[in-house]
Chain A
Amino acid sequence: MSTAETLLGLLAVGARHGYELKRAHDGHFPQARPLAFGQVYATLARLVRDGEVEVAEVRSGAGPDRTVYSPTPAGLDRLRRWLSTPEPPSPYVANVLMAKVVTALVSGGSGRDCLRIQRAAHLARMRELTALKADPAGSVAQTLSADYAIVHLDADLRWMDTTAQRLGELAKEVRS
């Protein structure tokens, strides 16, 4: 999971303070480990340092003051780049891709582009491996290694196709 980008995605729909961010994160990404408060504030501090998040206001109330953060244009650029860049097409990208799809939905996108871009990257890698198997100079061990990678990439691709078919339901759940 990319904590910085997912926090930027949660901030893209409105300014929030650290506690709200943690609650939103843990609610939207149940497959990930709950974020520790220390991780939330350390990540926010780095994002502020890098000019990708800024302090929008400090709320005072009955309890301690709450610092509310919002993304800067540079932060939103980073979020867009992350959502539109495929992960390296190795097996087991589901966690990161799930985070991208949910983050895209939370921040007002459809998630479909993330899946499309990743699918193309996975299929391109499968083509390379398939061509490798057809190489008459290749060894059986090389073919078996390619077989292993192909079936795992295929599992990811099936998951992407199913996710694409469930995007409407996921959008409703994420935005409810």
Chain B
Amino acid sequence: MREPVLEARSLVRSYGDTPALRGVSVAVGAGEVVAVTGPSGSGKSTLLHCLAGILRPEAGEVHFAGTRIDTLSEARRTTLRRGQFGVLFQFGQLVPELTAAENVALPLLLDRHGRAESLTAARGWLDRFEVTDLADRRPGELSGGQAQRVAMARALVTEPQVVFADEPTGALDALAGERVLTALLGVARRAGTTVLLVTHDTTVAAYADREIGLRDGAVERADVPA
């Protein structure tokens, strides 16, 4: 495998008395596209949230680019997420009051980049996802596929090393989902961005280089990295 950029070591995480992760270890190489699959409740979203520094595991370690991140303060993990990680959810989760361009610019604005510079960068990313003409529309005026393209632009605007995508096509029909994935992975592969794709859908998993299958909070199967 290429040098791991992201690694989970024996992660344990529960919700109350319900275990979600029971000693999960995975490693993802730089530039890899990996699908994390499994049935509902298998722990795949919890694993993604732990790897992205959104959740802190109860036991185990998370390493990113050689640095242990699960022990970092909330503020440092937030900084890391803003700069190095992009996150994409099933429903896009765009801010309804902002235009598409402002939504995409948001991570840069939060990182104290200038407004004009941020909006210019945002329009560039909207262009890469072929939705430049939607820059001034608000999320309520976008179709599901269009909104997801805007969300992808937002996830990539900081040029992160890793993109975490949690069921990114779950709310889309087959063709819209295919177009969204093709666009996301095309951009990510050209940029050498690592992508972690959480899905229960094998047609989505087939876009990835390899699969890590979870079941009952443990790794059930993992393809050997190329």
Interface, chain A (partner B; CB < 8 A):
116, 119-120, 122-123, 126-127, 129-130, 133-134, 150-151, 153-154, 157-158, 161, 164-165
Contacts and interface: CB of A to CB of B under 8 A. Distances in A.
Contacts of A119: 221
B203 interface: yes
A126 B211 contact: no
A133 B211 CA distance: 20
Contact of A123 (B182, B186, B211): B211
A130 B39 contact: no
A130 B207 contact: yes
Given A120-B223, A123-B211, A134-B182, A165 B203 contact: no
A133 B203 CA distance: 12
B93 interface: no
Given A116-B221, A120-B223, A123-B211, A154 B203 contact: yes
A123 B206 CA distance: 6
Interface of B: 39, 178, 182, 186, 202-203, 205-208, 211, 215, 221, 223
Contact of B203 (A116, A120, A150, A161): A150
B184 to A, nearest CB: 12
A130 B206 contact: yes
Given A120-B223, A134-B182, 8 more contacts: A122-B202, A123-B202, A123-B206, A126-B202, A126-B206, A127-B206, A127-B208, A130-B207
Nearest to A165: B39
Chain B interface secondary structure, helix, strand, loop or mixed? mixed
Contacts of B182: 134
A165 B215 CA distance: 10
A157 B202 contact: yes
A171 to B, nearest CB: 17
A142 to B, nearest CB: 15
A119 B202 CA distance: 10
16 contacts: A116-B221, A120-B221, A123-B202, A123-B211, A127-B207, A127-B208, A129-B206, A130-B203, A130-B206, A130-B207, A150-B206, A151-B203, A153-B202, A154-B203, A161-B39, A165-B39
Nearest to B209: A127
Ranked nearest first, the 3 interchain pairs of A and B with the lowest CB-CB distance are A126-B206, A130-B206, A157-B202
A154 B205 CA distance: 11
A120 B205 CA distance: 12
Contacts of A126: 202-203, 205-206
A147 to B, nearest CB: 8
Contacts of B223: 120
A123 B203 contact: no
Contacts of A122: 202
A159 B207 CA distance: 20
